[in-house]
A = this chain, B = another copy of it.
C-alpha cells in the first residue's frame, strides 16, 4: 500500500498573452499533515475568477504575483478531515484561499466556517461569495442606481454581472445587459429578468446600444474594457457613475490599448471609480446575511458552470478569459460532504 498523496497546481512559467495549459504543472506529493493548531481540508470546489490573470504576471497589481513554482491561489471550499485545533472539527465546511490543491493545511483563522444546512455550498463561492459581494459593493458604494435610471452591465451572465443587474432591478432601474451569444442573452433576459440584453458579437454594437438605451446610460458596471468601453462611455449621461471592476477583454494583451479621451468626464461630470472587493471586507458578511434568504427562496437567480477535476483548472481559467464559461465558473475537486 502506497502512502496517500495530494495534488497541487503550480505555475511553471509566466504566460505571454493568452495563458497555455503548459504554463502550469500538476504536482503529486505525499499528503501533508496538520501541525499543532492547524486543520487539514479536503477541497470540494475551487473558484476560477478573471482577476487570476493578473496574478500570473510579474507586473505590480493589487494581487500579489504567484511565484514561479508556487501553488496557484484562489478561493475554494472544502471539508475539514483532520483537526489539531479546537476551533474546527472534522466535518466542518470552510472557505479559504490557496485552493488549487486537493488538500490544504491551514490555520482556522484563515478560514470561514459555513452553515451546511443553509444555501447550497457552491453558492458561497459565487452569488454569496466574492463575486456576489463585488456586485453588491459596486452598486452600494459607487453605482447607487435610482428608479428610472438606465443601468448597463457588461459580462451580464457572469458571476458579478448577474448579481449587479438584479440589484439594479430591485432599485427600480431599467437594466440592460451585454453578453456574448444568444444563449447567454436569453438567460440574462428570461432568467435574470433584465429589461434587455445585447449580444456583443452583433455587427452594429453602436446601434444596439442606442436602441437598448434610448435615454443614455446612468450607471455602467465595467467588467470587460476593450472596444465596448469607448462606445459605452460616449453614451453616458450627465452625472453617470462607472464601477470599474475589471477589463477582462484586455487581460491577455501584451501592451496596453489606448483608452477613451476623457473630456466626457468633465463635460458630463461623470464619476469613474475602481473597485476591488478586498478593500470592503465589511461587505462580505453583510451581503451573505442579506442575500442568503434570497438564494434560499429563489428570488436571486444565478447559474454555475462546473468543470470536473482539479487538473482541468488551468484550461478552465483559459476558457474564462475568452468568455467560454456560462455562469460562475467552479472546478469540482472532490465530492460533497457525506
A interface residues (Cβ-Cβ under 8 A, vs B)? 54, 61-62, 225, 229, 238, 244-247, 250, 256-263, 265-276, 279
In the complex, 16 of the A-B residue pairs with CB atoms within 8 angstroms, ordered by the A residue number, are A62-B269, A225-B262, A247-B263, A247-B266, A250-B261, A250-B263, A256-B263, A258-B260, A259-B259, A265-B273, A265-B274, A266-B274, A267-B274, A269-B276, A272-B272, A272-B273
Write out the residue numbers on chain B whose beta carbons fall within 8 Å of the beta carbon of A272: 262, 265, 270-273
Write out the residue numbers on chain B whose beta carbons fall within 8 Å of the beta carbon of A247: 262-263, 266
Give bound CA distance, A57 to B229, whole Å: 26
Knowing A258-B258, A259-B259, A261-B257, say if A266 contacts B276 (CB, 8 Å). Answer: yes
Write out the residue numbers on chain B whose beta carbons fall within 8 Å of the beta carbon of A54: 267
A135 vs chain B, min Cβ distance (A): 15
Give bound CA distance, A62 to B268, whole Å: 7
Knowing A269-B276, A271-B271, A274-B269, say if A263 contacts B62 (CB, 8 Å). Answer: no
Write out the residue numbers on chain B whose beta carbons fall within 8 Å of the beta carbon of A261: 250, 256-259
Set B229, B244, B269: member contacting A273, Cβ < 8 A: B269
Give bound CA distance, A268 to B275, whole Å: 9
In the bound complex, do residue A266 and residue B257 qualify as a contact, i.e. CB atoms below 8 Å apart? no
Closest to A240 in B: B274
Give bound CA distance, A45 to B276, whole Å: 49
Set B260, B268, B270, B279: member contacting A269, Cβ < 8 A: B279
- Sort A-B residue pairs by CB-CB distance and give the 8 closest, nearest first: A258-B258, A256-B261, A269-B274, A259-B259, A265-B274, A272-B272, A244-B265, A271-B273
A59 vs chain B, min Cβ distance (A): 9
Write out the residue numbers on chain B whose beta carbons fall within 8 Å of the beta carbon of A271: 271-274
In the bound complex, do residue B61 and residue A267 qualify as a contact, i.e. CB atoms below 8 Å apart? yes
Write out the residue numbers on chain B whose beta carbons fall within 8 Å of the beta carbon of A246: 266
Give bound CA distance, A246 to B61, whole Å: 29
Residue from A62, A244, A245, A274 having most chain B Cβ neighbours under 10 A: A274
Set B259, B269, B275: member contacting A262, Cβ < 8 A: B259
In the bound complex, do residue B62 and residue A267 qualify as a contact, i.e. CB atoms below 8 Å apart? yes
A202 vs chain B, min Cβ distance (A): 24
